[in-house]
């Protein structure tokens, strides 16, 4: 029996005051010792980075400093074209002749979407013709005639699946690998590699002028990582970055002096709150903002581009101008060393996104019409500049759409997370290839099925990062973008 049971009930925690002070005294001295070691830099020297070998720099070091790749990788940057709302794979890149034959018929097919679980549905035949293109003979619908000319540089993944058919959680999974969110893919890439250009953000997000996607900033959050790794949003309409110029009457010298004083007080404040990534990020953000004043204006100035280039992206056409400007800016950013650029097509709600529950034809013709020419221009422009081999381009949404109608009337399709298409091109990708396939109706992936985490593993591998060893310790686990259980890249589409 424990001896503390024999003590009076009114003693503190079963101990006398003298015993408590004697046992706890060592803790007070250790706190003081820890503070001395922290200020001396000893503790920072003992910490190691994610690879378990490289010593971490002191907190004042730039966490976005360029780091060597873990493995040989072809890509240096990523441009992720995110079609928010869920584009229909069976109307774009996954040719299903059976859908034409059964158009309008009610058949047995298992589906799960916003409308719940169903065992039958009315087939909606595609509203566009499919044709074969390139040496690979890839089938592409008439929705994307410009992208169709680039198929020999593209690898299609036609048996993707995700864990949720609901926009919010599906988007978080596609961006962070988790249904409830976490560090975004761009955060992981910058954590693992840093950024080449210290005068521009390492992770940039461009939203649709109609608005941001559901779940908002969680889609480009750094999650449990330091805030410095979160995405920086550039405006979708008008000047991408506001307030780059100093206020009237303030010289660069005055601006530098002001920031130096702010940094001094912020650093003193942060020293008493070690480990607060929000404070450290804010200090670094002031410095980045100052550096951007000299670099960003040139980077976002599209007037420097030739008339031919702007016409290639459709910047001279009201229909394609907005998206063309964004992809042209994306090319300029990766050209200047930005690691990860995510460009959203579609925003807000209903027909402002690719979420075609009602009139599929009107919805997809609107969004494809705005994006087809600029996407093809991006691939061709990168290629002619010698940048495609080192830039990984990704296209897709949070899921696909069902082969059957959602409502009793109309052509709208419900969400489909059982099987859908994503494609990749550029750095580390073998063009003119295809991985996986769906059943004859496009309702679900069969045979070779690839989860979202396999897509993430492929992106990291192309960037020279080992998806199963790029970790961040949090909540008692070595967290990974691909989940603690790990995942392998889709090797058949990789060089």
Tell whether 260 is covered by a domain. Answer: no
Same domain, 233 and 94: yes
Nearest to 402 by CA among 419, 386, 383, 380: 419
**Which H or E run includes 299?**
helix 277-299
In this structure, the chain runs to a length of 495
Does pLDDT of 28 surpass 50? Answer: no
Question: Do residue 331 and residue 212 come from a single domain?
Answer: yes
Are 29 and 96 within one domain? no
Looking at residue 126, what DSSP letter applies? Answer: -
* Residues 401 and 448 occupy one common structural domain: yes
Q: Say what the pLDDT of residue 248 is.
A: 72
- Residue 357 CA to residue 360 CA, distance in Å, equals 7
Share above pLDDT 90 across residues of the chain, in percent, rounded to a whole number: 65
- Chain segment 148-206, per-residue pLDDT in tens: 999 999 999 999 999 999 999 999 999 999 999 999 999 999 999 999 888 889 999 99
> What is the percent of the chain where pLDDT is above 70?
79
CA distance 439 to 447: 9
pLDDT digits (tens, 9 = 90+) for 297-309: 677 789 899 999 9
Based on the domain organization, do 98 and 224 belong to the same domain? yes
Residues 6+ apart with CB under 8 A from 327: 79, 81, 313, 343, 374, 375, 377, 378
For residues 336 and 200, the answer to whether their CB atoms sit within 8 Å is yes
Q: Is residue 397 part of a domain?
A: yes
pLDDT > 80? residue 274: no
Q: What is the pLDDT of residue 15?
A: 57
Do the domain assignments include residue 142?
yes
Do residue 87 and residue 229 come from a single domain? yes
Say how far apart CA 189 and CA 400 lie, in whole Å. Answer: 26
| Helical axes 452-462 vs 185-193, angle rounded to 10° | 30
66/191 Cα distance (integer angstroms): 10
Q: Is 416 within a domain? A: yes
pLDDT on residue 243: 54
Which domain CATH number covers 212?
A: 3.40.720.10
Instruction: Please say if the pLDDT value at position 51 is more than 80.
Output: no
Average pLDDT over residues 106-127: 91
Q: Are residues 30 and 167 in the same domain?
A: no
Domain that holds residue 16: 3-40
- First and final C-alpha spacing in the chain: 68
What are 56-93's pLDDT values in tens digits?
334 446 788 899 999 999 999 999 999 999 999 999 99
Whether residue 25 lies inside any domain: the answer is yes
**Residue 294 located in a structural domain:** no
In a domain, 474, yes or no: yes
Torsion of CA 429, 430, 436, 440, to 10 degrees: 120
Segment 472-481 shows an average pLDDT of 95
Indicate if 29 and 88 belong to the same structural domain: no
- Greater model confidence, 38 or 96: 96
| Mean predicted confidence (pLDDT) in 18-44 | 48
Report, as an integer, the average pLDDT of 477-481.
Answer: 96
Residue 431 near residue 425, CB atoms below 8 Å? yes
State pLDDT tens for residues 124-133. 999 999 999 9
> Where is average pLDDT lowest: 47-61, 62-76, 328-342, 424-438?
47-61
Do 198 and 125 sit in the same domain of this protein?
A: yes
Q: What total number of domains does the chain contain?
A: 2
The verdict on residue 279 lying in a domain is no
Query: 301 vs 231, 275, 295, 305, 325, CA distance in Å?
Result: 21, 38, 11, 8, 10
Write out the two tokens for 216.
């908002």
Asked whether residue 12 falls in the same domain as residue 106, the answer is no
Choose among 404, 434, 399, 398: nearest CA to 419: 399
CA neighbor of 182 nearest in space, from 487, 486, 475: 475
350 vs 244: which has the higher pLDDT: 350
Q: Are residues 153 and 16 in the same domain?
A: no
Mean of the per-residue pLDDT values of the chain: 86
What pLDDT is recorded for position 50? 42
Same domain for 28 and 156?
Answer: no
- CA separation for the pair 251, 317 (Å, rounded): 39
pLDDT at 258 over 90: no
Tell me the three-class secondary structure of 96-120, residue by residue: CHHHHHCCCCEEEEEEEECCEEEEE
């Amino acid at each position: 029996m424990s001896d503390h049971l024999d003590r009076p009930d009114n003693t503190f925690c079963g101990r006398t005051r003298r015993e408590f002070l004697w046992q706890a005294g060592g803790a007070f001295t250790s706190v003081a010792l820890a503070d001395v070691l922290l200020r001396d830099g000893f503790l920072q020297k003992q910490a190691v980075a994610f690879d378990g070998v490289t010593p971490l720099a002191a907190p004042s070091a730039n966490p976005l400093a360029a780091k060597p790749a873990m493995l040989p990788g072809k890509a240096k940057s990523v441009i992720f074209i995110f079609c928010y709302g869920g584009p229909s794979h069976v109307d774009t890149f996954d040719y299903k002749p059976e859908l034409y034959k059964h158009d309008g018929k009610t058949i047995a097919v298992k589906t799960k979407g916003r409308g719940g679980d169903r065992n039958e549905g009315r087939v909606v035949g595609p509203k566009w013709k499919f044709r074969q293109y390139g040496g690979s003979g890839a089938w592409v619908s008439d929705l994307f005639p410009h992208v169709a000319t680039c198929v020999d540089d593209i690898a299609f993944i036609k048996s993707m699946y995700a864990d949720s058919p609901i926009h919010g959680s599906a988007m978080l999974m596609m961006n962070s690998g988790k249904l409830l969110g976490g560090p975004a893919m761009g955060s992981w890439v910058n954590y693992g590699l840093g950024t080449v250009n210290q005068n521009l953000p390492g992770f940039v997000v461009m939203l649709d002028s109609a608005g941001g996607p559901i779940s908002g900033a969680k889609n480009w959050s750094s999650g449990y990582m330091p805030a410095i790794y979160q995405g920086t949003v550039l405006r979708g309409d008008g000047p991408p970055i506001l307030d780059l110029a100093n206020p009237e009457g303030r010289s660069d010298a005055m601006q530098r002096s002001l920031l130096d004083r702010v940094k001094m007080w912020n650093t003193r404040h942060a020293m008493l709150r070690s480990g607060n990534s929000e404070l450290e990020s804010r200090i670094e953000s002031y410095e980045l903002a100052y550096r951007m004043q000299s670099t960003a204006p040139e980077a976002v100035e599209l007037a420097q581009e030739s008339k031919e280039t702007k016409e290639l992206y459709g910047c001279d056409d009201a229909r394609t101008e907005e998206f063309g400007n964004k992809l042209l800016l994306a090319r300029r950013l990766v050209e200047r060393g930005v690691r990860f650029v995510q460009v959203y097509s579609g925003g807000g709600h209903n027909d402002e996104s690719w979420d075609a529950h009602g009139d599929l034809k009107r919805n997809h013709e609107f969004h494809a019409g705005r994006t087809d020419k600029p996407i093809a221009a991006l691939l061709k422009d990168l290629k002619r500049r010698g940048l495609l081999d080192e830039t990984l381009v990704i296209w897709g949404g949070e899921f696909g759409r069902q082969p059957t109608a959602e409502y009793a009337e109309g052509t709208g399709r419900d969400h489909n997370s059982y099987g859908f298409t994503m494609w990749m091109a550029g750095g580390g990708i073998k063009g003119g290839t295809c991985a996986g396939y769906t059943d004859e109706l496009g309702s679900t992936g069969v045979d070779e099925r690839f989860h979202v985490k396999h897509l993430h593993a492929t992106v990291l591998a192309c960037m020279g990062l080992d998806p199963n060893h790029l970790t961040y310790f949090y909540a008692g686990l070595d967290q990974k973008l691909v989940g603690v259980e790990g995942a392998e890249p889709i090797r058949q589409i990789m060089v």
